[in-house]
Structure 1
Amino acid sequence: MYSLLLTIIYVAFVSLGLPDSLVGAGWPVMHQDLGVPLAYAGIITMVIAGGTILSSLASERVTRRFGAGVVTAVSVGMTAAALVGFSFSGSFWMLCLWAIPYGLGAGAVDAALNNYVALHYAARHMNWLHSFWGLGASISPFIMSYALTSGLGWSSAYLIVGVAQVALTFVLLVSLPLWGRVNPVVPGGHDLEPDEAQAHAAEASGRGRAHVPLAQALRIPGVTLILAAFFAYCALESTALLWASTWLVTDRDVPAATAAAFASLFLLGITGGRFLAGIFADRVGDRLLIRGGFATVALGAVLLALPLQTDVVALAGLVIAGFGCAPIYPAIIHSTPGNFGRRNSQAIIGIQMAAAYTGSTLAPPLFGVLSAWVGMWLFPVFLGILVVLGLVMSERLNRLVDRRSRVAPSVS
């Protein structure tokens, strides 16, 4: 059952990544068909982000009541319905309307599924699962390209992905009995007695556990530190994904085709880097993965900032930054139960997801405003500031956890 459910979760992560690149890939055609300005894409992404933040913050209460399996199945069903709704939308306001259930479903499933994996599976699976998400996000532009070049139209791409999500919803509903039967990962690696395993499984699934209010979770020592670190990471990742190609063209005079290729390599670097990180994750631990990831991104930012005549170093820096980003997100999520206790993990991961979406939503337009004011040369500096913020906050958390562990051997 352990392997069967894990396989389903892997498929779920691929499927969850599929819709994330559809708006960006199809918008050059979509905005013309809908008769709206190009900038209106930001409205859709803001609506989606708002929904994901709200549902992430509410995920602890919902998961506690219904369990991670039910929340995952229903949330994927909501995103499936939204995607099918996108495919039948003939006006911009309809897209915005369907973006609401899409955002709500995406945030809830993200928080519930990440917490479940953090509690039940080893660090290597967390990295590989997020690598599979990157695979899904990389596939969706090809689906949109196929729909457009074959004459089917952008709506067909949404329908194809929506049908895939409907199929996943059915699989998740059938798999519900498995979610409470997988023994959680327990620090120390000891085997659990049957009654102890059942209690842990009930707690890890989110059911039978006392509610942890948002205000209470925020008062837990170290939570604000990890939120700042997560905000910084997601801010730098989203900023690099959106602005790397523009920076290469405008500041480094790199040909547009070359810049686009290397900008895509940043995402592929994240995807491949997570697969490689998974091989070593159980041996090196989450803390070293986070520290090494931020340090690698810092190296990439330095290479981007070097005022050299050749563009090779800058292009290499972008790829290196992508590899550095790879393990940070999964390691932060996987380390949450160990840092803050199993009882608090769902509430804190929900808040972390909200911080992640906030950083991803706010940072790219903020950089756009700053770059218009001082120049596009600010790009590597902006990334460097976010790296320093993330690294400092995560290291402060490590010191806090170490001090706490010397006082009490474990957090429960």
Structure 2
Amino acid sequence: MTLLLLVIIYLAFISLGLPDPLLGAAWPVMQQELGLPLEAAGFLFMTIAGGTIVSSLVSGRIIMRFGTGKVTFFSGLMTASALLGFYFAPSIMWLVAWSILLGLGAGAVDAALNNYVANNYKAHHMSWLHSFWGVGATLGPLIMAQFISGQHAWRSGYLTISVIQFTLAAILLFSLPLWNRISKNSNIALNENSEPIHAETSCEDIKPIKPLQIKGVKLSMFAFLFYCGVEATVGLWGSSFLVNVKELPASVAAQWVSFYWGGLTIGRFLTGFVTFKMSNRMLIRTGQLIALIGAILLVLPLPAIVSLVGFIMVGFGLAPIFPCMLHETPARFGKTHSQTIMGYQMAVAYTGSAFMPPLLGFLASNTTIGIFPFFIVVYIVVMLLCSEQLNAVLRRRAVVSN
């Protein structure tokens, strides 16, 4: 039963990734059909991210009341319904309404699944699960690319993903008895180091702290802010850049952006093996440098095929950064403070996803989408500087403690 439920959770993580890149992949066609300005995609993206932030903040109370299985099922149902709403949406106002529902559903299921796996399965599954999210994020643009070449066909792409989500919701409905049964059989939870801790331990057991006063916390939060700013901005505006600057067909642009998500997915899968040989700090630094080189390739006036290499390198470079930064939190700031600081980091990460892509969209609508690669370079450089400054703070603290 444990294995069966784990398979279902892996499928759920694939479904989590499917809707995330759809808006960016379909926007060049959606914008023309609906007669919308370029920056409207940024507003829709911000609306989805805002819903994700809200549902993540309240998910703890909801999960405690209804249980992870029910929350996951209803969240999946909300996501599927929102995608179906995109299929029927006749105007921007309807797209905004369905974007709110999409964000609320995505945030709740993400928090619910991560919490459940952390408390009922060994830690290594967390790494592979986030890799499977990348599988979904890679498949999303590929599915959309099969439809957007025809008139009104972007709607068929959303309908296809919606059907997949409804199918998963049905599977989750029939699996509800498994969730409670496995939870009751789990008397202990495993932390990320696979050390047994009592399952009843919660944030209420931890003495009140002021984590923002710890040296390096703010630098870490800025690194998360700019990481998610890069990841979301490339996913949202990559297709528009390729269509309007590199003059590629919309279907080809969507496929190329899917390779970006593919680099992210493969990179995270490989990171699970590389961690046996390299430290988190080295993986973070290496990933940032690879992503920076890829972004520079997008800036240079080179043939269009070089842009494909650049997108892949950015995705591959970003792959280890997020999971390694999360995993470093206890080592950086201590286990006592890590839970609270983790919450701050995730909140800032969602904020980066919500507001930094729309910022580029607003500026691009008043200038040109050609500024896209320059923004990516700046975001990565700032993230790299924050990480290196944080490492310097940690080295000085280690010297003082010794």
Q: Percent identity?
A: 41
Structure 1, unaligned stretches of length 5 or more? none
* Partner residue, 2:106: 106
Which residue of structure 2 lines up, in the alignment, with residue 184 of structure 1?
A: 190
Query: Aligned ranges for residues 342-381 of structure 1 at < 5 Å?
Result: 342=335, 344-371=337-364, 376-381=369-374
Instruction: Give 1:311 shift.
Output: 4.7
Deviation at 1:366, TM superposition (A): 2.1
**Structure 2 counterparts to residues 326-337 of structure 1, below 5 A:** 326-337=319-330
CA deviations 1:41-66 (Å, max 9, x no partner) are 5554333221112233445x538x82
Letter in 1 for 2:61: V
TM-score calculated relative to the size of structure 1: 0.76
2:61 match = 62
Cα-to-partner distance string for 1:249-292 (whole Å, 9 max, x where unaligned): 55556677665543332121111211222221243232222111
| Corresponding residue number in structure 1 for 2:135 | 135
TM-score (norm 2): 0.77
Distance 1:140 1:265, change over 3 A: closer
Q: Deviations over 1:74-114 (max 9, x none)?
A: 15523413422553666655554444343233223334544
Matched-pair contact (CA < 8 Å) for 1:134–1:268: yes
Match for residue 80 of structure 2 among 55, 80, 83: 83
Q: Which of the residues 232, 235, 243 maps onto 2:229? A: 235
CA deviation after TM superposition for structure 1 residue 359, in Å = 1.6
Of residues 161, 164, 167, the one that matches 1:161 is 164
CA displacement at 1:304 relative to structure 2: 3.0
Equivalences for 1:125-274 in 2 at 5 Å?
125-141=125-141, 153=156, 156-157=159-160, 159-170=162-173, 171=175, 174-179=178-183, 180-181=186-187, 183-185=189-191, 187=193, 192=196, 197=197, 199=198, 201-203=199-201, 207=202, 209-210=204-205, 216-248=210-242, 250-251=244-245, 259-274=253-268
Unmatched tracts of structure 2, length 5 or more: none
Amino acid at match of 2:219: L
Inter-partner Cα distance in structure 1 for 2:211 and 2:19: 31
Aligned residues: 392
Match of 1:284 in 2: 278
Structure-2 separation of matches of 1:130 and 1:43? 26
Sort the Cα spacing of 1:395 and 1:85 in 2 relative to 1 into closer, same or farther, 3 A: closer
Cα distance in 2, alignment partners of residues 173 and 403 from structure 1: 52
Letter in 1 for 2:191: V
Deviation digits for residues 1-57 of structure 1 (CA, Å, limit 9, x no counterpart): 875664443222112112324445566787899x77476555543332211122334
In structure 2, what residue type is equivalent to 1:166?
Answer: A
How much has 1:231 moved relative to structure 2?
1.1
Supply the distance in 2 between the matched residues of 1:76 and 1:405 (Cα, whole angstroms). 46
Q: For residue 136 of structure 1, report the CA deviation from its aligned partner.
A: 1.4
Superposed CA RMSD:
4.2
**CA–CA separation in structure 2 for the residues paired with 1:177 and 1:338:** 34
> 1:275 aligned to 269, 273, 279, which one?
269
Q: Deviations over 1:291-343 (max 9, x none)?
A: 111011112123333455x5554442332122101111222223334434445
Q: In 2, Cα distance between the equivalents of 1:116 and 1:283?
A: 29
State the Cα deviation string for residues 170-191 of structure 1 (Å, max 9, x = none).
Answer: 336622343444641364x6x6
Matched letter for residue 81 of structure 1: M
